[in-house]
């Protein structure tokens, strides 16, 4: 079973991804991780990607899809795989589809975890991080025993710039604008599986399993 996992920041995608790969025995393929590994190992595609990254340019779709192609032909992908963080837009999705059809493969399900924006803002702006040890807390879901103080080391908790309301809203807007055409693309292919992402981790995972079978 070949899956793409989509979801906005704060939707709990990472948590559900872990549950998915454990339950279905398929690897999670993160193009970000793969790019970093290819750079480190100096593979031909890694060197190609480096040329663009050194100039601060985006790595072309063909290079990223080339990495995915190498990866999904490895033994642990025989039962399938889950793509995470890719594709990000329709052009990448089309390049991916072309590559998969060359291999006689296809994407079976595009799981899209949906959470209303106001709920995402609540989740993301409530995060607090310890200045000293980096531990993470949440003012509503995982509050420290004492306001503003790290339970683990007594350090000061702060809100990262990424997590302030204006930044969060603009991240969500960018996500929505980039992802909407991608969602339409997979909906037309009949592969889109919309999942209500509000609820407990178990509840959400049960919804995912129900659509994947
Ligand atoms: Zn701490």
Tokens of 164: 């302030």
Give a yes or no: residue 112 inside a domain: yes
Contacts for 53 with CB less than 8 Å, ≥ 6 apart: 39, 59
Q: What was the pLDDT predicted at 26?
A: 96
Beta-bridged to residue 127, according to DSSP, are 138
Ligand-binding annotation for 77, yes or no, is: no
Q: What was the pLDDT predicted at 169?
A: 94
Give a yes or no: residue 35 inside a domain: no
DSSP track, 49-103: HHHHHHTTPPPPHHHHHHHHHHHHTSGGGTT-EEEES---SHHHHHHHHHHHHHT
Q: Do residues 81 and 2 lie in contact, with contact meaning Cβ atoms separated by under 8 Å?
A: yes
Q: What was the pLDDT predicted at 184?
A: 97
Q: Catalytic: which of 51, 160, 180, 209? A: 160
26: alpha, beta or left, given left = phi > 0 and alpha = psi -120 to 50?
beta
Ligand-binding annotation for 176, yes or no, is: no
Tokens of 167: 């930044």
Q: Is the peptide bond before 46 cis (omega within 30 degrees of 0)?
A: no
Give a yes or no: residue 55 inside a domain: no
Ligand-binding annotation for 92, yes or no, is: yes
Q: Which residues of the chain have pLDDT under 50?
A: none
Give a yes or no: residue 58 inside a domain: no
Q: Nearest Cα to 92, choosing from 186, 194, 191, 188?
A: 186
| CATH code (residue 107) | 3.40.50.300
Q: Catalytic: which of 13, 123, 128, 207? A: 13
Give a yes or no: residue 123 inside a domain: no
What total of structural domains would you count in the chain? Answer: 1
Q: What spacing in Å lies between the alpha carbon of 146 and ligand 1's midpoint?
A: 12
Give a yes or no: residue 149 inside a domain: no
Cβ atoms within 10 Å of 201's Cβ, excluding its own: 12
Q: What spacing in Å lies between the alpha carbon of 137 and ligand 1's midpoint?
A: 10
- The whole-angstrom separation of Cα 63 and Cα 49 is 7
Q: What spacing in Å lies between the alpha carbon of 130 and ligand 1's midpoint?
A: 5
Q: Do residues 68 and 96 lie in contact, with contact meaning Cβ atoms separated by under 8 Å?
A: yes
**Residue 181: which domain range?**
2-26+79-116+176-212
Q: What was the pLDDT predicted at 77?
A: 96
Give a yes or no: residue 191 inside a domain: yes
Give a yes or no: residue 162 inside a domain: no
- Burial (Cβ within 10 Å: 0-12, 13-18, ≥19) of residue 111: buried
User: Residue 85 has what DSSP assignment?
Assistant: S
Ligand-binding annotation for 28, yes or no, is: no
pLDDT for 117-169, tens place per residue?
999 999 999 999 999 999 999 999 899 999 999 999 999 999 998 889 999 99
């Amino acid at each position: 079973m070949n899956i793409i996992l989509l979801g906005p920041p704060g939707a709990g995608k990472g948590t559900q991804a872990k549950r998915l790969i454990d339950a279905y025995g398929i690897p999670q393929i993160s193009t970000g991780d793969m790019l970093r590994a290819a750079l480190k190992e100096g593979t031909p595609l890694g060197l190609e990607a480096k040329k663009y990254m050194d100039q601060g340019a985006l790595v072309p779709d063909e290079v990223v899809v080339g990495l995915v192609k190498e990866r999904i032909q490895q033994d642990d992908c025989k039962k399938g795989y889950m793509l995470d963080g890719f594709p990000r837009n329709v052009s990448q999705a089309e390049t991916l589809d072309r590559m998969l059809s060359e291999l006689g493969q296809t994407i079976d399900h595009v799981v899209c975890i949906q959470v209303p924006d106001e709920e995402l803002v609540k989740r993301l702006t409530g995060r607090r991080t310890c200045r000293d040890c980096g531990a993470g807390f949440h003012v509503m879901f995982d509050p420290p025993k004492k306001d503003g103080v790290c339970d683990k080391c007594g350090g000061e908790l702060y809100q990262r710039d990424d997590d302030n309301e204006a930044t969060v809203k603009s991240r969500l807007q960018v996500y929505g604008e980039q992802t909407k055409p991608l969602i339409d693309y997979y909906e037309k292919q009949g592969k889109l599986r919309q999942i209500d992402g509000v609820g407990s981790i178990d509840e959400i995972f049960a919804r995912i399993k129900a659509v994947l079978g």
